Amino acid sequence: MTTNHLKRTLRWAGRTVRWDRFGDGPALVFLHGTPWSSALWRPYAEALAEDFTVYLWDMPGYGLSSKAPDHRVDLGVQGELFAHLLDVWGLERPHVIAHDFGGAVALRARLLHGRRYASLCLVDVVALSPWGSPFFTLVQQHADVFEQLPPAVHRGAIEAYIRGASHRGLRDDHLEMLVRPWSDTDGQTAFYRQIAQADEKYTDEVEPLYGYLDEPTHIVWGAEDTWIPMDRAERLGTLIPHATRTLIHDAGHLIQLDAPAQLSAELTRWTTEVA
């Protein structure tokens, strides 16, 4: 997986957003979560580009996009930006696939900023309180201290944190792809800054509105997800009454790497159904 795969840039509120578009057919947008980037979705985007015009982007504070210390990167900001991107790209009703807090970003753009989707696929998403691991909570309370960790200690901490998102264990090249954006000085401060700005108020604000979603919605979850346990999939399914659900066994939160064949088959089935 390449980490330098986004060829286009745009500016928004002083931030630089890296993105790319390829393929042919109806629009399909992928949203990544934290502490990931669009590189995690790249193989799936390439596979689906045979039937869709695929859009990939890194949120500010992540991946290849800007990480300026004075720019907020919370879910409120990302939701506003995603709504803006859909306007810039001229997408009135794209298909959307979102992972982790990309789910909250997509839901906020839909329910608070009035954007519409042709379909919505939510993969192990941040959408319901409570969310955040014990490490997440610790960093929120002491972000300024963590930002000053020696580089080797920081890398060890982030490697251990990211490994915990996988049920099957990560290959060395996958771990490197996920860790690299956070490894230099800017990346280290950005990593702890985005955790410090995480707040459940951003999902609490939209949770009462989930019943208003009227587009085809599909929930996909790793059965062994310890970051966001599968009971959230069940709760989310009750709040979006028409939503369908698929549980993928032997997969954790990093379902893209734990169960690539199963997830690819499920996304192909779903997108074929709603296209």
Residue-wise pLDDT tens digits, 4-18: 689 999 999 999 999
Q: Is the pLDDT of residue 108 over 50?
A: yes
Distances in Å between the alpha carbon of 117 and those of 105, 107, 274? 13, 10, 11
Q: How confident is the model at residue 2 (pLDDT cuts 50, 70, 90)?
A: very low
Q: How confident is the model at residue 132 (pLDDT cuts 50, 70, 90)?
A: confident
Q: How confident is the model at residue 141 (pLDDT cuts 50, 70, 90)?
A: confident
Average pLDDT, the chain: 95
Greater model confidence, 7 or 137: 7
Q: How confident is the model at residue 1 (pLDDT cuts 50, 70, 90)?
A: very low
Q: How confident is the model at residue 133 (pLDDT cuts 50, 70, 90)?
A: confident
Q: Is the pLDDT of residue 72 over 80?
A: yes
C-beta atoms surrounding 145 within 10 Å: 11
Q: What is the pLDDT of residues 144-162, one digit of tens each?
A: 899 999 999 999 999 999 9
Closest CA to 105 of 75, 125, 61: 75
Tokens of 94: 């794209």
Q: What percentage of the chain reaches a pLDDT higher than 90? A: 92
pLDDT of 4? 62
Length of the chain: 275
Q: Is the pLDDT of residue 82 over 90?
A: yes
Residues 123-139 have a mean pLDDT of 90
Q: What is the DSSP string of 159-190?
A: HHHHHTT-SS---HHHHHHHHGGGSSHHHHHH
